[in-house]
Amino acid sequence: MTIVLKSKIKNKFFLIFLISLFLNGCAGVSSSGIFGTGVSIAIDPRSLGTQIDDSLMQKNLSARILLVDKNYFLTVKSKVLDGRIFLTGKVDQPEEKLKLTKIAWETEGVRSVRNDVKIKEEFNFKQSAKDILITSQLRAAMVLNKNIKATNYQIDTFKKKVYIYGIAQTEDEKNLVISEAKEILDVEDVVASILLVENLRIQRN
């Protein structure tokens, strides 16, 4: 019985390893590291009206950020979900992060702002590689978990701290995502900004 159990555990980790390698090498599959591609929602649970509102807010916010500094196109990422704004990336000075927060809060229709933009530090290849590995392993674990819609989440890792953004169908799914993140080797903290479908704005025609 013990041998069979160990064999099953080994098989699970082997599958996670293979999928993490595959996902890490595929362009456009979710996000890796602090410069994530954003939340990719296969079956978007938001109402059509909310999607339109979020899209307008996204364009407005992106344009205003670029007016401040065109370099932010490469260094700062933003995402609007149900009127909530999430910011990630890196800037040179603390004042820049404060300015980005101000711009986000001044966006018409905003409900909340989560600013996880980091202040640049000397590049550490070893740390960066570890962060990318953590992101890949978590993404693979979520794909393997049939109770999680992995495409509904964005994952960013910075200094072994995992940031998860997205939309969960249920509270149980939200808890599963956080649990999977905490089980990844070397993860020191998990910051989850996960919205529940039931809490999204309901658009009335």
Instruction: Say how far apart CA 98 and CA 64 lie, in whole Å.
Output: 15
6-21: average pLDDT: 57
Q: Which residue has the tokens 């993490």?
A: 20
Quick: pLDDT tens for 59-109. 999 999 999 999 999 899 999 988 889 999 999 988 898 889 889 988 888
Segment 164-185 mean pLDDT: 93
Phi first, then psi, for residue 28 (nearest 5°) are 85, 5
Numbers of helices and strands, H then E, in the chain: 6, 6
DSSP letters, 70-87, are TTHHHHEEEEEETTEEEE
CATH number given to 29-39+122-199: 3.30.300
pLDDT (0 to 100) of residue 202: 47
Domain 48-119's class? alpha beta
Which tokens sit at 122?
Answer: 């000397």
Residue with tokens 């996000």: 31
- Of the given ranges (12-26, 134-148, 153-167), which has the lowest mean pLDDT? 12-26
Min mean pLDDT across 9-13, 43-47, 60-64, 105-109 is at 9-13
- Of 109-113, 172-176, 192-196, give the range with the top mean pLDDT: 172-176
- The CA distance from 142 to 154, in Å, is 11
Task: Answer yes or no: is pLDDT of 152 > 60.
Answer: yes
User: What is the pLDDT of the chain when averaged over all its residues?
Assistant: 80
Residue spans in the chain of domains classed CATH 3.30.300 = 29-39+122-199
| pLDDT-based confidence at residue 15 (cuts at 50, 70, 90) | low
Tokens for 142?
Answer: 């979520």
Q: Which residues contact 96 (CB under 8 A, 6 or more apart)?
A: 69, 117
Chain region(s) in the chain for CATH 3.30.1340.30: 48-119
Report, as an integer, the average pLDDT of 123-141.
91
Q: What is the DSSP string of 150-193?
A: GGGEEEEEETTEEEEEEEESSHHHHHHHHHHHHTSTT--EEEEE
Q: Is the pLDDT of residue 139 over 50?
A: yes
